[in-house]
Structure 1
Amino acid sequence: MKRLLLTVLTVFTLSSIFAQEYRIIKGGVTDSLPIPYAGDDTYALYVPTDYTTEKEWPVIFVFDTKGRGANTANLFRTAAENQKYIVASSNFNLKSKPIDSIINTATAMMNSVLSSFPIKSELVYTAGMGEGAQVGSALPLIYKKMAGVMAVGNSFVNQDYLDKNNPYMFVGIAGDKDYMVYQMESYTKFYEDLDFTSDIYYFDGMENEWPSPAVISNAMTGFTLEAIKNGLRPKDEGFIQKLYDDEINFVESLRRTRKYFDAFEKLERMEEKYKDFGYEEDIEDKLKSLKKTDGFRQQRREFRQAVDFEKMQQEEYEYLLANDIMTVNFQNIGWWAYQVDELEKLKDGSSEAKTNMAFRLLGYLDFVTKREFDAIQKSTAPIENKIFISVLRTAINKNDPEAYLKIISLAGSDGDYETALLYLEDLLKTGYSDMESLYDIEGALDLRFSSEYNEIIKKYLGESKFYSENESKKEEN
């Protein structure tokens, strides 16, 4: 144990282009490394315990939406250690800057790592989640030798910009509860049709979530095996066996938790992945065994039924939403609220397929109504259209303050104080507590000085800016 600790805590010195020295931990995450020419932006770095400058290493650049570099690097840590990758994970928030600025910073981070470490130029990869997946999948436009992209929950895909002369491996990852799961499947199919090597993985999660280290490790195995097939990494039989055993253990964990259909799908993907390494018969035997397992056929049937119903519902929601927006049909708001309530009930059901479907449909409703909300608020549409989509948003996502604030603003500017006060109270019932913002709502200048407005705020927040108890008593008398 003592020897292991000494190994993990081994450090070495990295000299930057500014002649500064930084202590890099082997086998651990070193955080807040500066990115040259990128202001205060930094990244976190992981290098394996046996890192040496005597050989070249694969590297994976990771982009997290919120810039949680160290935390995200730790998700890749086990896979990076076992499969011998350097991990560089960004610390910059991807929602805080314009996309061109983010791409410039990401490129600067890549250049810094590529110039500071012995990286094998043909084994450069990116990974990202959400907006980070879009950034990571756009970087092959800049770094033409990119070997692979791992996209979690989203991706940037544009055939007009894709360089077919420099193909790379695309690995899509989607949560079973993420409404983007079918989009990720279509992205994977897009790359397959262009003869790019591609694969897809699933995990028990929602949108804007990273998968577990085990799922990340399985996905990175695809990069590693592809590099071995292409002669860019040595064909070590013992190493390949270890990769295979790790994935089989993952399949076994699914089987033991009675996720038979998930285990079956995973084995089917492994069949293609390991077809050149002599494991075909073993995988085929395991597939046959799973087919005979009690519960497998029922899970497969429930999954297919849920998918068929879900796709039908998505089409219906799109059609009905467009119609209700066009006709400004306030009477149908209750129907939409009923749909949400029914899906919420399904989330607690016993069928995993239906539960995941309910999560996805709720996410999909949230996405399409937010899309329409943003578009209408930016347009020159009449005020009733803007109020309608805002009210609909509160029925779909009861905890999103943006729509409540917009209703207060629109109703206040239109002199409809009763509606504004109603939605002010509904907003505060959700637990909203940003009092300053309540006194800075556009169009509600007169309203926010009223005793009614301030009494509601005081009722939920314990205080208000312009609440006068004496004035309130005068009005009552």
Structure 2
Amino acid sequence: MNKSLLSACFLLMFALATQAQQGQLRIKKGIIVDSIQVQDTIPATFALYIPSTFEKSKPFPLLVVNNMNGEGREAISKFRSAAEKHQYLLAASNNLNDSLSISHNIALNKAVISSMAKIFRIPQNRIYVAGFGSGGKLAGITPVFLSGIGGVISIGTAVNTGLLQLPDRSRITFRLIEVVGREDYNYTRMLEHSRLLDPIKISNDLLVHDGGPDMISPIFVDRAVGRLSLDAMRKGLKVKDTSVINSLFMEDYKEFRQLMGLRHYVEAELVLSSMIDTYQTLVSIDSLVKRRRVLKRDRDYREQQREFSNLIFKENLMKSDFEYSLLQDLDALNYNNLGWWNFQMKKLKEYENKPGFRERESGKRLIAFLNALVEDNIYIELARPAVDEEALSLLWMIKTITDPTDFSYYLKIISDSAKYEDFGTAIFYLEELLKQGFTDKETLYVLENTALLRIMPEFNELVEKYLNEARYKINEE
């Protein structure tokens, strides 16, 4: 190996020896270290990342990342680049889970924070919490239960504003940064939440990216972490760094200019308002304020704002209609209404061909909302002491309509129908499954409760038709 490359690798893998509660703890810079035991009575572990720029003599802020599946390494990997750029320590519990109580999950994070504070020099009020989805929800309420949290990053979900609006808000001094995609069904809700938090003086910011929850760019994760650093500078917790401020400012302004060039004025105004709130006291924002004033007077902007408001109003009405109809169907076990759900999905699919990009985004949000609504009700049914199997079956059937490419629900229906010898339903959903492109023949022939179904001519005819060859030959006599 080349000497310079060997030297670089050595520096990257340089081990920091730190005296810990359980002996000598060796932690490497520049890589994710997993399964570190918390220094607490709780039997738990966490993952850790130390930026390659780390110096033991200097204090470094801490960002705790929540993954509700208990996969700390995965949680940290999504913030690794931003932590390296903005010089943050990262830690993530390996024990968080949606099935645990809020108090238990908070206690796990508290143990991680306590352990990190014993090992590293962490500046006062520079402990932050972040998360995606349900991890973001936990992050959003953490400052209510743990003092000293300087900021929260919630990606793809709105925090519980009810908790944040408690009568005593004197302890709520953290900065809330939310990130969401315009195709994410949480988008409209997070817009509304941002407007609710402003009047009650809870410092917040909303960063909006293209696409849905699975399309967030590392650039936006980086910008969210950068906002934490800017907030620390504004509060005097971090020395103002002009180069960092200017770099982040130009990234934001570039997005504003791009949206203006596309004549997406409503979206551009949101970016501009965010910049004014973020950079005040750090740079002169007079030109931004003037630019926003001019933009809001523009006739095209006002027309787009009316269009957007009407679209959101219509979208919220449709969501309410979906919620009401689903509850009615579950109460009545109304299988006859499956045709109505199929019709609704066809109407939503038509949004893909709408001329306006906002309408197309609205259609994607509505489809995502409907899928989430059905999934939530499936979880609710499964959590009941006595599961209503008919209601569950109906929900599975609706799920094949709202998300026809998720093969798991067809398989559940086939297995469940065969269990009760409802072979007609099983055969129907088998063909629907095969029409969608399912090709795993082995799974079909080991599916639970289908021993009798698998030897039926109708079953094997469909397998032969779509997958070329059936396991059991059809008697043609």
TM-score range, shorter chain: 0.7 to 0.9
Counterpart in the other structure of 1:125 = 128
In the TM superposition, residue 193 of structure 1 has moved relative to its aligned partner by 5.7
Q: How many residues align?
A: 465
Counterpart in the other structure of 1:19 = 23
Q: How does 1:2-401 map to 2 (within 5 A)?
A: 9=12, 11-15=14-18, 16-25=20-29, 28-32=30-34, 34-36=36-38, 42-47=46-51, 49=53, 51-64=54-67, 73=76, 75-77=78-80, 79-89=82-92, 94=97, 103=106, 105-140=108-143, 143-154=146-157, 157=160, 159=163, 164-167=169-172, 168-188=174-194, 191-192=197-198, 194-207=200-213, 209=214, 211-287=216-292, 290=295, 296=301, 299-376=304-381, 385-401=391-407
**Identical residues among aligned pairs (%):** 24
Alpha carbons of structure 1 residues 67 and 248: separation in structure 2 relative to 1, 3 Å? farther
Q: Indicate conservation of the 8 Å contact 1:255/1:263, yes or no.
A: yes
Counterpart in the other structure of 2:448 = 441
Alpha carbons of structure 1 residues 434 and 144: separation in structure 2 relative to 1, 3 Å? farther
Provide the rounded CA distance (Å) in 1 between the counterparts of 2:394 and 2:32: 50
In the TM superposition, residue 161 of structure 1 has moved relative to its aligned partner by 11
Q: Indicate conservation of the 8 Å contact 1:35/1:109, yes or no.
A: no
> What SS is found at the alignment partner of 1:179?
coil
Provide the rounded CA distance (Å) in 2 between the counterparts of 1:434 and 1:144: 55
Q: Indicate conservation of the 8 Å contact 2:455/2:472, yes or no.
A: no
In the TM superposition, residue 332 of structure 1 has moved relative to its aligned partner by 3.4
**Deviates most, 341-350 or 35-44:** 35-44
Amino acid in structure 2 at the alignment position of 1:9:
L
Provide the rounded CA distance (Å) in 1 between the counterparts of 2:203 and 2:421: 60
Amino acid in structure 1 at the alignment position of 2:424:
E
In the TM superposition, residue 119 of structure 1 has moved relative to its aligned partner by 0.9
In the TM superposition, residue 383 of structure 1 has moved relative to its aligned partner by 6.2
Alpha carbons of structure 1 residues 94 and 77: separation in structure 2 relative to 1, 3 Å? same
Q: Indicate conservation of the 8 Å contact 1:401/1:432, yes or no.
A: no
Provide the rounded CA distance (Å) in 1 between the counterparts of 2:389 and 2:251: 58
**Deviates most, 187-196 or 362-371:** 187-196
Q: Indicate conservation of the 8 Å contact 2:333/2:394, yes or no.
A: yes
In the TM superposition, residue 462 of structure 1 has moved relative to its aligned partner by 7.1
Q: Deviations over 1:335-368 (max 9, x none)?
A: 3212212322323544221111011100111122
Provide the rounded CA distance (Å) in 2 between the counterparts of 1:409 and 1:372: 20
Provide the rounded CA distance (Å) in 2 between the counterparts of 1:394 and 1:353: 27
Q: Indicate conservation of the 8 Å contact 1:170/1:191, yes or no.
A: no
Provide the rounded CA distance (Å) in 1 between the counterparts of 2:317 and 2:236: 46
Provide the rounded CA distance (Å) in 2 between the counterparts of 1:383 and 1:92: 31
Q: Indicate conservation of the 8 Å contact 1:267/1:283, yes or no.
A: yes
Alpha carbons of structure 1 residues 141 and 437: separation in structure 2 relative to 1, 3 Å? farther
Amino acid in structure 2 at the alignment position of 1:391:
M
Amino acid in structure 2 at the alignment position of 1:170:
L
> What SS is found at the alignment partner of 2:126?
strand
List gaps (5 residues or longer) in structure 2: none
Provide the rounded CA distance (Å) in 1 between the counterparts of 2:38 and 2:382: 40
Provide the rounded CA distance (Å) in 1 between the counterparts of 2:277 and 2:164: 29
**Deviates most, 141-150 or 4-13:** 4-13
Amino acid in structure 2 at the alignment position of 1:276:
T
Q: Deviations over 1:363-396 (max 9, x none)?
A: 1111222233444566668765554333222212
List gaps (5 residues or longer) in structure 1: none
